[in-house]
Amino acid sequence: MNGFIKTTILMAGLTALFLFIGYLISGVTGMFVALGFALVMNGWAYWHSDKFVLRHYGAREVDAETAPDLYGVVKLMAENANLPMPRVYIIDNAQPNAFATGRNPENAAVAITTGLMDRLDFDEVAAVMAHELAHVKNRDTLIMTVTATIAGAISMLANIALWFGASRDNRMGFLGVLAVSIMAPLAASLVQMAISRSREFEADRVGAQICGRPLWLADALAKIENAAQHIDNYPAEQNPATAHMFIINPLHVHQIDGLFSTHPSTAERIKRLQAMV
């Protein structure tokens, strides 16, 4: 299935689940209140989520004077991708990793850890930046912000439904409401993770096209995966909801590539990149 179509279907399902919980709490009125709540939360995330994430990771902005090599490679990859020059940030973190954020290509930012800069060579850094710019080009930064916001709101509404939904005269009864309050956040997390995995494969493909060397990105992924298994990323552990943003899962549960992984198998990603040569 086409990645865009799959993402659209999954996001529609996530929104439907959110509205259903609103309906469970207070019928049609609750459904519309939930919709309004989602719009407000996504509006906040649209304008402020990038600043929140960069601040959480202690990212510091750099330019052509303070980090000429990094800034230069990002500029080159942005030109290859026909994108505006994003803001560039460095995170003082030993775990090699990187992410992109921003509501659109005109307001995008890429962040790279010092661990990645220390462990990867120039070509591999270029490929990683190309991958992150692919997320910007595909507007994944906005898509994942919206899905993360809705998934978090579903968990919040599910707790409200548990306390107030069962007191209403409904056909589900207490056990039905209890089941929904448990299963809805789980389902939302699974959908969010499925969207994230789909977007990673697509960013690998587009990123390989941007840098022109799929094997550069394949080699970078292998190095990052190997190092990330042994190096903690404490800010990510404190806020695991941001894990999907990174090129490799920064959490130490990423060896399990199943329903609960925010990233597809690195081996599978490398295999697909190698097939592009």
| Catalytic site positions | 132
Closest CA to 131 of 27, 269, 274: 269
Secondary structure of residue 102 in the 3-state scheme: coil
Contact (Cβ atoms closer than 8 angstroms) between residue 207 and residue 217: yes
DSSP states along 215-226: HHHHHHHHHHHH
Closest CA to 276 of 219, 233, 214: 214
Q: Residue 127 CA to chain centroid, in angstroms?
A: 18
Element (DSSP H or E) covering residue 89: strand 87-91
Contact (Cβ atoms closer than 8 angstroms) between residue 274 and residue 218: yes
C-alpha dihedral sign at 131, 136, 138, 144: positive
C-alpha dihedral sign at 143, 145, 146, 150: positive
